[in-house]
Amino acid sequence: MKTGTWSEIERPQVTLLAPTNAAFSSLPTVYRNNLDKQANFLKSTMMYHILDGIHGPDSLHQNDMLTSLEGHRIHVSMQNGHVPQFNRVSIMNAIHATNGVIYVLNGVLHLPSSPIV
């Protein structure tokens, strides 16, 4: 809500990559502080976790490259031949929604341009 990205999540077809609270808590303090204090940094991080269209588990393949709404590419890899990962962050659960899919992640996808990663 803070970032104004709610309308992006309400798209007719959307895939949301949703890190858990524990994933955010495990970030370095300086990263968390930047998220809290810099609205543009928070918005970029949020947009990095939203994909246009529905990318369900059955449609993902090894080495697929997806583009986030933030504009960066997200690499899909498989762990043990079946569990998709995004940029080496594992998916804990996939939840089907009326307008897409939500992937619960055990980590936060970092912006490649972030000076603190």
pLDDT of residue 31: 83
Structure token pair of residue 101: 């899919």
Alpha-carbon dihedral 12, 15, 19, 21, rounded to 10 degrees: 20
Q: Is the pTM of this model over 0.75?
A: yes
Question: Residue 29 and residue 69: Cα distance in Å, rounded?
Answer: 26
Strand order in 100-105's β-sheet?
Answer: 50-52, 14-19, 100-105, 89-97, 83-86, 73-79, 65-67
pLDDT of residue 116: 47
For residues 94 and 57, the answer to whether their CB atoms sit within 8 Å is: yes
pLDDT of residue 101: 97
Give one word for 71, left, alpha or beta, with left for phi > 0 and alpha for psi -120 to 50.
left
Q: Report the candidate in 20, 23, 11, 79 with the shortest Cα–Cα distance to residue 51.
A: 11
- Domains along the sequence of the chain with CATH: 27-105 (2.30.180.10)
Note down pLDDT in tens along the chain; length 117 residues: 677 777 888 889 999 999 999 998 998 888 888 887 888 888 888 899 999 999 999 899 999 999 999 999 999 998 777 778 999 999 999 999 999 999 999 999 976 555 444
